[in-house]
A and B are shown apart, each in its own frame.
Chain A
């Protein structure tokens, strides 16, 4: 932009100065705390309190415990399921919003409607699932009244199904946003040209819209995957505490002042998330396409 307008980019010193505030904030509130977590992950635990030191026990115990691998498998399972469902939903919804809603105002209203789950607090939202999905909830009552089932379906609430349902309700927006942004930048003429050349609508979606919204999908994927992998509240409440996640392990350990164990789990979780994000970014070069 600057170059196109014929303005010289500022000197290196000025550029560093411009970047300095953000660098300072990130340094103070991200890099230093993260470094502290890494340091503490090597501390020892004297039976009551953490104590400074350098031991690999925390990692050895973590990676050697069955609980950790079960939780990790759980975390990956939920991440994959949520990613898949929000991906499909997000793509369909943003496709509809981008190409079928002509009026900008209508599009805005519909987009705002997608944020409704966030209008209330996490706690209220979680509680509200009980009268809907519970044993004596609306859905079970309705199913029993019309004679579909004789007994309430327990699996609607406090189950893997409930967890994925809550994730999808919450995180579809994070997939939808970037996808819509990407699709909104596709020239409508491209689609018209494809149709004029005899492409079916399905083929237009597959060969024009999908490739051009790759960046949005990548950004949405990073958001959804990191949100699900770091979550423990939604998982705990919707599974009724009957399902584990690495985040939950960390929470429990912090609760009994076992900071070194919690820090080690946090470092491992961070590494896993970074690897997954790295894999997504390998698939799409976000910087090149933004």
Chain B
């Protein structure tokens, strides 16, 4: 047996993981795995032999479904994680209606709110997640620091825990049983063409309604996300007020759509986009100058040589977060492997890789250890780059002196207005949205 089982990426930085602790529980569950082969890091040979045929099927957003991550996981863990990327509509269908088709679901927290009620996923036993107590408190308490305010919408901690291992009800407070393990998250804002739309360094969401944005603004056509961008805009413009933008009353919705319909009729909007690629095309072709946009789409516009920025807004950001969850069908050795994989995802290598694409990771310490000081300064601390900042594939993202839009991690994630959400009145929301689109 010559299979390589050491973990070169995490040695030497003080973060190398001792997997034996985990393995004890795992071995018992798997039934008679020989333990104590003497290795300090890496797996005992028997484990390596047992898991080499294991394949875990993961699906989710395209963000984490990268061949490089798959290959690295196989190299470090000894088993294969197959990853497939889908759009959010397909993700939610698959998670709910085809639980046999996956082992690990990479889903957003607002999607978890729907999926876990359906009972097709099993909660994660956080005792088996070694670094669980290192997770950014945003996900466990909803607060970045003890004095920050919980943002509106569906904050991850409200759908982050189940009452028990077989419960279908979310727990109000942190429990031992987590729904999904936070993997990556970000604070989204409107994307702007700084060359065509000049409103200063810090703008307001209300700038989307300004005269020079007429016919050149766009909103995301995913109803439960688009409505929140609209609410940010209307609230900033003083046209509407909300108790909770992420969970509106039908009355608040009526008022919102009255305004929105009027702006549509007046030709304020160029389009309502639904896919990543559409949003990139609108911006790159100059069809829009200010619009709802996800951070990776802004990077995609820049790669084409077109200036585009994630515009810092004085009213704050709309946050989203996604994580990994376990299918209810997962048991035995594959389940143990899945826990191994979850732990590996928090080791820092994945966090650093996704960090170079602009995403934040759930555990800052391990990510920092896997980045260069310049990378960490640029992506997390809002410092000017000392040298070229490269993407994971080697494309130049920024030159020396360049700074990340919106500043540091704490400035961005500490300035959240709301989280992506599912509303209690989502059925009513959809009816109003469909009416608005057709009108």
Contact = CB atoms under 8 A, between A and B. Distances in A.
Interface in A116-130: 123, 127, 130
Contact of B272 (A71, A157, A241, A245): A241
Contact of B432 (A67, A137, A244, A245): A67
Interface stretch (A168-176, A195-203, A216-224, A256-264): A256-264
A240 interface: yes
A47 B438 contact: no
Contact of B277 (A66, A123, A244, A253): A123
A139 to B, nearest CB: 13
Interface string B197-220: 000000000000000000100100
Nearest to A127: B281
B424 A47 contact: yes
Contacts of A65: 431, 434-435
B433 interface: yes
A71 B285 CA distance: 29
Contacts of B286: 134-136
B370 interface: no
B274 interface: yes
A242 B437 contact: yes
A158 interface: yes
B417 to A, nearest CB: 22
A249 interface: yes
Interface stretch (B221-229, B240-248, B376-384): B221-229
B92 A257 contact: yes
B114 A255 contact: no
Contacts of B433: 252
A255 B431 contact: no
A134 B270 CA distance: 11
Interface in A154-189: 154, 157-158
A28 interface: no
Nearest to B436: A67
A258 B92 contact: no
B5 interface: no
B40 interface: no
A279 interface: no
Contacts of A136: 285-286
A131 B285 contact: yes
Contacts of A48: 113-114, 117, 422
Contacts of A245: 438
B281 A254 contact: no
A248 interface: yes
A258 B92 CA distance: 11
- Find the residue from B222, B223, B278 having the highest chain A CB count within 10 A: B278
Contacts of A135: 285-287
Contact of A241 (B277, B424, B437): B437
A243 B264 CA distance: 11
Interface string A60-83: 010001111011001000000000
Nearest to B113: A48
A258 B430 contact: yes
A258 to B, nearest CB: 6
Contacts of B96: 49, 257
A135 B271 CA distance: 13
A243 B437 contact: yes
Interface in A93-146: 123, 127, 130-131, 134-137
A255 B272 contact: no
Interface string B398-439: 000000000000000000000000101011001111111111
A74 B427 contact: no
Contacts of B431: 61, 65, 67
Given A48-B114, A49-B118, A130-B287, 7 more contacts: A67-B431, A130-B281, A241-B221, A242-B272, A256-B92, A256-B114, A257-B114
Interface of B: 88-89, 92-93, 96, 113-114, 117-118, 215, 218, 221-224, 264, 269-274, 277-278, 281, 285-287, 422, 424, 426-427, 430-439
Interface of A: 45, 47-49, 61, 65-68, 70-71, 74, 123, 127, 130-131, 134-137, 154, 157-158, 236-237, 240-245, 248-249, 251-258, 261
Give 3 nearest A-B pairs by CB, closest first: A244-B438, A240-B271, A67-B435
24 contacts: A45-B427, A47-B424, A49-B117, A61-B431, A65-B435, A67-B432, A68-B434, A71-B434, A130-B287, A135-B286, A158-B270, A240-B218, A240-B272, A241-B272, A244-B437, A244-B439, A248-B437, A252-B223, A252-B430, A255-B89, A255-B222, A256-B427, A257-B92, A257-B96
